[in-house]
Amino acid sequence: MSNSFGATSTTDDVLAGVDLKGKRVLVTGVSAGLGVETARALAAHGADVVGAARDLQKAEGATAVVREAAATSGGSLSLIELDLASLKSVRAAADALVKDGRSFDLVIANAGVMATPLGKTVDGFETQFGTNHLGHFTFINRIASLLKAGARVVSLASSGHRFSDVNLEDPNFETSAYTPFEAYGRSKTANILFAVEFDRRHKARGVRAVAVHPGGIQTELARHLDPAFIQGMIDNLNAQAKAAGADAFAWKTIPQGAATSVWAGVVAPVEEVGGLYCEDCHVAKRVEDASEVRAGVRGYALDPANAQALWALSEKMVGEAF
C-alpha cells in the first residue's frame, strides 16, 4: 500500500480534507489520552461521535475539547456509560444502543488497561483479559447489527502482543504464574485475533475489522508501571536498535498515537487492511524473530485457527454465542 503517512503523522495529517458529516462513530475510552484525541479528530471533521467511558464525570471534563471541535464542524458528541470490566454494564450499554436503533459507520475499541497487578473483573476474569478482550468482545458483538454495510471496527492492540500468545487452557492464570506483561500480551494478542475472526464473519455483508498498534505514548495507560521500569525497557530497546543499526526509540505524541486508528478506520483502503494488524499508518509485516520487539506482528496473532479457537472460548467464558 502506498501512502504518505508514517510514524510521525498526526490525526489531523491523516484526516486532512476528509468530510465525515453524516457519519456516526463510537469510540470507547474517551476519558483520557488516545480516546479523547480520536474522538476530537473525528468530531472536528463533522462526525457524530458516541463516546463510551466507565467514569462519565471524568469523561465529561476530558471531552470538552471534543465538543469544541464538534461545534465548529457540525459534528456532535454524546456519552454513554461503559465499564468493560463488568458484563452487566457492557450488556446494558449495548442493549441501550440497539434499542435506540441508529447505525454506526465506525467503532473504535480504544479503551484498555495495561500491566495491572493480579486481579479479577466483576465476573471473575483476569483483569486485563477480561477488560481489554472479553468486554469489547461482548460489547461489539452485541451491537454488530448496528454496523451498516461499509462499516469498520478498529481494535486497538499493541506491540505488547509479542509478550505472549493467548493461553486457551488457562486464560485466567489459575494454574500458571502471573506476570503483568504476559497478561497484557495475552490480552493484546486477543484484540488482534478478535479483529481477524470478526472480519471473517462479517466481511460478506460489507463490515470489516482491523487491529492497530498506536505506538509508544505516554498516557494514563502506564499508571501501574514504575518509571524506572519504563526507562529500563527503553534502554533495552535502544540497545537492540543500536546493534541493528536502527533509530533509537522515540515517544509518540497523543495525536501521532491516535493517527493509525483513524487512518485504519477512515482512510486506508479497506480491502488492504481488513483482518490485518497495522502500525505507523501501514500494514505491519509478519516478524517471527523474537529479538525484534519494536515492529511487526507475530504469526500467532493473525492465525485464523487461533482466532476461531479464541472466539469459541470467549463465547463460553461470557456465556453468550454470537
Q: How far from chain centre, in Å, is Cα 296?
A: 16
Environment class of residue 203 by beta-carbon count within 10 Å: exposed (0-12), middle (13-18) or buried (19+)?
middle
Amino acid in position 27: V
* Residue 27, all three cell numbers: 469510540
Tell which residue, 153, 164, 148, has the closest CA to residue 195.
153
- Residue 277 is among the residues annotated as catalytic for this protein: no
d(CA 157, CA 213): 5
Selected catalytic residue, list 178, 184, 277, 300: 184
Q: Are strands 277-279 and 282-283 parallel, antiparallel or unpaired?
A: antiparallel
Environment class of residue 39 by beta-carbon count within 10 Å: exposed (0-12), middle (13-18) or buried (19+)?
buried
Compute CA distances 212 → 86, 167, 198, 319, whole Å: 24, 21, 14, 27
Q: Which residues of 136-174 are buried (b: 16+ CB within 10 A; e: fewer)?
A: bbbbbbbbbebbeeebbbbbbbbbbbbbbbbbeeebbbe
Q: Which helix (H) or strand (E) holds 182?
A: helix 180-202
Residues known to be catalytic: 184
